[in-house]
Amino acid sequence: MKKGIIIFLVISAFVFSCKKTPMPKPMAYFRITLPEHEYQRYETDTCPYMFDYPTYASISLAKDIEYHPCWLNIDFPQFKAHLHLTLRKVNQNLDSLLNDSHTLVYKHVIKADAINARDFVNDSLKVYATLYEIEGNAASPMQFHITDSTHYYIHGSLYFRVRPNADSLAPAIDFLKNDVMHFIGSFEWKYLNTDACF
């Protein structure tokens, strides 16, 4: 009888001591499937530039207050993102345009953990660019400007159509960073009569 009681107590101890208080699972983010990086060329007869953009993206005219045929969005529907491009004419105002770009980037300093700048120079094509990577929960994780320093200036901003969350957007930001860098590396100016763009 004593053996039976001891066995019953041991089994009861195991059964009742192994119960754990249920804990909710931590919040996680959906896994996204990333496409292969493949590019195609964009060129028109009306805008003074050409560049490569991804095959999984599309190009649309930017819908702003005024009509600018050379202001574009490169749309990434899979990522709910777009790269907004604005073209300006340089007319002895390059310093002002660069200051505007700097101001636009540093408006994000309130939400940014860090802002890293990287310069790109291609003297043979007269392409001079600066890419700003804005870390943290900023509205735009990447911005850049490209100029030939005498005629044209482009400002680009990457935006997601979701609430900024650096953790959940990190895979998409890292992926699109390669596309933005390829865009800058493939960018070329064309010197056309582009007064219609301004």
The rounded Cα 59 to chain-centroid distance in angstroms is 16
Q: What is the mean pLDDT of residues 17-41?
A: 75
- Mean pLDDT over all residues of the chain? 87
> Which strands sit side by side in the sheet containing 72-76, from one edge to the other?
58-61, 72-76, 81-89, 152-160, 142-147, 127-136, 112-122
Residue 107: what pLDDT? 85
pLDDT of residue 68: 84
For each of the domains in the chain, give its residue range(s) and CATH number, in order of start: 39-197 (3.40.1000)
The kind and range of the H/E element at 42 are strand 39-43
Mean local confidence (pLDDT), 74-87: 95
pLDDT for the residue 123:
95
**pTM strictly above 0.85:** no
User: Helix count (H) and strand count (E) of the chain?
Assistant: 3, 10
